[in-house]
Structure 1
Amino acid sequence: MPFKHNAARRHRIGRMKFKVTNWPEYEAGLRRRGSLTLWLTPEALAMWLAPRRTTLVASLVIPI
């Protein structure tokens, strides 16, 4: 079968591994990315979750 042709060799190919060799340059690059801190107000946090359902889920299914 064609999909078994290379089965013996398929899993021997390792993943490429990246190793940081210049730590000061790497850390400077991380600092240049900036901060992605997200500030939420207490009002936004209070509205974060959807209100609880009062109906049964089974009643929402449309019969075909």
Structure 2
Amino acid sequence: MTRDTGWFKTSHSSPANDNCVEIRITGEVVGVRDSKAPVSGTLQVSSAAWATFLARASN
């Protein structure tokens, strides 16, 4: 079974705020998109690259 979280807002977004980033984790790929324009495209990165980004952003 392949992992698929579906699109979700980041934990720093309030439920009523549409100005945020949405994330979708599917297996070895992480998708990132603008919640205001979800059909405008997605940035896809590997799970390893995403983990590195999160580690460096939290410092």
Q: TM-score range by the shorter chain?
A: under 0.3
Greater strand content? 2
Greater helix content? 1
* TM-score normalised over the length of structure 2: 0.26
Higher Rg of the two aligned structures: 1
RCO greater where, 1 or 2, for CA within 8 Å and sep 6 or more? 2
